[in-house]
Amino acid sequence: MKKITIAIDGFSSTGKSTLAKQLAQKLQYIYVDSGAMYRAVALYTLQNNLIENNELNTVALINNLPNINISFQYNERLKVSEIYLNGVNVNTEIRSMEVSNIVSRVATVPEIRQQLVALQQQMGAQKGIVMDGRDIGTVVFPDAELKLFMTSSANTRAQRRYDELIESGALVTFEAVLENITSRDHLDSTREDSPLFKATDAIEIDNSNLSLDQQFDKVLALVASKL
């Protein structure tokens, strides 16, 4: 059967990863969460004190890039791909608010983007892949057969993210999560290298009022039209 590349871009907390995982499982494709890769670099930054007084030590971080190894391993029990940083499973650690607060700044460093984009393109060379992020359809896979751009209101996204964090036991306020969401939107959309924007041939999905099942059925029909 013909295999395609599915690129899913959009703002933070729009459910890109959830949708991508659903599609990958249904189609038996490889799933790659590109955002998790940037979060892993952000976690490395925190672990190695490369950010101090809210100032990112960009030069030191770039010099440390050869020491950062990122990979994905499929968890047979959970049926998901989990991310590893230098051989350690960091699937939970990368979702902390501390990482969320710096990941967009880490992602603005051109040298980091260049290294991760090259790795992402290598992962998708054989097609049969679903990848989500901020620049997948515009930079990583500009020739992807199906490009989606996910969006919903900032308040809706903040509520979803807040609920996830509370469920995981994090001590956060809704206001802090909303501020993080709007700040990341601004940084992602205005960075010089590969800013977030909708590719001209991407299909926009506003899921503010869609259930997960409704969204999945809608996108699955789009996939079928490309096969």
152 CB contacts (<8 Å, ≥6 apart)?
Answer: 11, 14, 15, 206, 207, 208
pLDDT of residue 195: 85
Per-residue pLDDT of the chain (227 residues), as tens digits, is: 789 999 999 998 898 989 999 999 899 898 888 889 999 999 999 999 999 888 999 999 999 999 999 998 888 887 778 899 999 999 999 999 899 999 989 988 999 999 999 999 998 888 999 999 888 999 999 999 999 999 999 999 999 999 989 998 888 999 999 999 999 899 889 888 778 889 999 999 999 988 989 999 999 999 999 98
Q: Where are the domains of the chain?
A: 5-224
pLDDT of residue 99: 94
**Is the domain defined by 5-224 classed in CATH 1.10.10.10?**
no
pLDDT of residue 103: 92
Task: For 150-163, give one letter per residue: b (16+ CB within 10 A) or e.
Answer: bbbeeebbbbbbbe
Q: Is the pTM of this model over 0.75?
A: yes
